[in-house]
Amino acid sequence: MAAACTHPLDLTKVRLQTIAPVHGHKPSMFSVLRTTVRETGVRSLYTGLSAAFLRQMSYSLVRLGSYEKMKETLSKNGQPSSGSLFLSAMAAGAMGGIAGNPADILLVRMTSDNIRPPEKRYNYSNAISGLFRLIREEGTKGLFRGLEANVVRAVLMNASQVATYDYFKSKLLTHTLPVVNYHFKDNLLCHTASSLLAGAVATTVCSPADVLRSRVMSASCNSGIIDILRTSMHKEGPSFLFKGWTPAFMRLGPNTVLMFVFFEQLKHSWKVLFPAT
């Protein structure tokens, strides 16, 4: 549900991370959006949506589900510490990164396909056919392309998004805002505020791994992370590691808010419908 709302920004972020500067000029988020709509229409902003859904149903399913289970187990012995929650989030993120790696490859390739030369395009019609082509053309090894960067990013993402969401939420619920003397309750406002803070932290922490992951996965050659890091650092300087930060936050901020708001509401609804589980 969250991915369906924020996919155009995800597409813009990937294209910003993989487009090479022209004569030293770096494209902006709005210029990428404008060019995409002008050249291929508004519908093209949802290119690769099937891969986005496949990614959420593998990556997010594992990282959120396993984290909730770990948190539930830790809570049986009292309130878990922030350190144990962060470690649990990192472990769950690593599992999610492995589970979602094939879908991540498809998502990066499908969203960046239109900016490639015609002879280098993958032209996947949807995520399922793309998955079969990926296996047929690159073997099972191709499913794990960029796995190192993806797992690192997933670990950082879960620790800086999911664990910090719990951290900010607990702080908001136990402290009163000094200026307006407002005390948060466990409601939509608290979930939204915690999500926005978690989204800002996650965007900044994950940006370097996210950029490297996008470039490794979009490459048609067998360039490794070190080669891409060295080449990009030489041509663009260290700032390339934060390319696409603005659309990344504009995507991850709302995505984080929507994801946790939907998640909290679905959990509440499940408890109402099935109180014994």
* Residue 23 predicted with pLDDT over 70: no
How large is the average pLDDT for residues 228-239?
81
Q: What is the pLDDT of residues 114-142, one digit of tens each?
A: 888 888 899 999 999 999 999 999 999 99
Q: How many CB atoms lie within 10 A of CB 201?
A: 19
**How much is the pLDDT for 138?**
92
Q: Could you give the CA distance from residue 70 to residue 96 in angstroms, rounded to a whole number? A: 14
Identify the structural domains of the chain with CATH numbers, from first to last.
2-273 (1.50.40.10)
Q: What is the pLDDT of residues 235-245, one digit of tens each?
A: 888 878 888 78
**How much is the pLDDT for 57?**
94
Sign of the C-alpha dihedral, residues 154, 157, 163, 165? negative
Chain mean pLDDT for the chain: 86
75 or 244, higher pLDDT: 75
Phi then psi for residue 177, to 5 deg, are: -65, 120
* Residue 248 predicted with pLDDT over 80: no
pTM: 0.76
**How much is the pLDDT for 220?**
58
